[in-house]
Amino acid sequence: MFSDRKNILVVDDDNIVLMLVHGLLKDAYQCVPVRSGAEALQYLEQNSVDLMLVDVEMPAMSGQELARAAHAMPQQARVPIILMTGMMDIAQPMADMNDPCVVDIVRKPFQPAALQRMIALYLELFDLRAQAALVAEEQARAALNERNLLTALFANLVEYRDQPKGLHIQRMQAVTRKIILGYNTLFPDRLIAEEDAARVVLCCQLHDIGKVAIADAILLKPGRLTPEEYDIMKKHTVYGAQALETPDAQDPDGMLATARQIALCHHEKWDGSGYSRGLRGEQIPLAARIVAVADVLDAMISLRPYRRSRSFDQTLQSMLEARGKHFDPDIIDAFLDQKAAIQDIYLSFAEKINP
């Protein structure tokens, strides 16, 4: 019968205070009185509350200690707490209110009407905060979905111009996820955080966005490129980085910065012989080193007008030979850690790679 009423937990070792507060609040709220911090924590383990009214001076556990213990519980982390005290000097309890959810302090004996108004105001304030957080979360989710959609659309546009089957990006993303998983398994001291991993997987779609600036006569040439044509083709890394150039203030989560690193550096090589800047070793951004392995793997396995495709085992052997030359050794080791899962990705795409 209390489903629509706010749940208030009142904690005080004085039974008279509990009776007074319960009588004052029971008509408007579900009011649960308990006499110790231990009882309060036991209740909080099984129930959520909307507000706590807690005595400062209690045996075994003070009000401040209870507040800290309650807010350490994930389900109670944001519950507002009002402290109660019979002390004349409330300077120390006030100094202890550095927890943003310990919202106020009242001196006993309290004025009933004032306490009722205080409780009502804080309940309304925290309701508004919760609603604002939900709105902000929904807006952020909508913005992320819109950004992800636009990223995929741009990537598909580039991919369709270069490879009309449009599967290169899908395979690259799947392989990139597995390489990151292998990297985190082998190198837990250098763990790639979940949000960074998601950003790399998203941004690898834009690795070749600079190809939009390459002439069709070169990009779509059915045979091998001449040295002069290849020099022009190599500029797609620079064009891509320029296209993704954005002020930091307009890229708060670093998504475009990651995409720019990948676009510019995914053809760099571990030994410094790559392009466009001739970076060497860890000078190459980690995201680009990961994507380079996924990109080359897919290029070697896929059919091209000027050469036959290679088997997974043939490709693997070539990439192992390039360990420490073309590729970061750690990334190749991460690839090997996930070899079976990556091979399964290519088996699932087999008919689409080599029709």
Q: Please give the order of strands across the beta sheet that includes 102-107.
A: 30-34, 7-11, 51-55, 81-85, 102-107
Q: Which residues pair with 267 in a beta bridge?
A: none
Active-site position among 6, 178, 211, 269: 211
Q: Over the Cα atoms of the chain, what is R_g? A: 31
Cα–Cα distance for residue pair 307/201, rounded to 1 Å = 29
Measured over the CA atoms of residue 292, residue 297, residue 303 and residue 304, the dihedral's sign is positive
Contact 78, 126 (CB under 8 A): yes
Cα–Cα distance for residue pair 215/348, rounded to 1 Å = 33
Active site residue 234: no
Cα–Cα distance for residue pair 206/154, rounded to 1 Å = 8
List Cβ neighbours of 69 (8 Å cut-off, separation of 6 or more).
37, 41, 61
Residue for token digits 């209110």?
A: 97
Catalytic site positions = 211
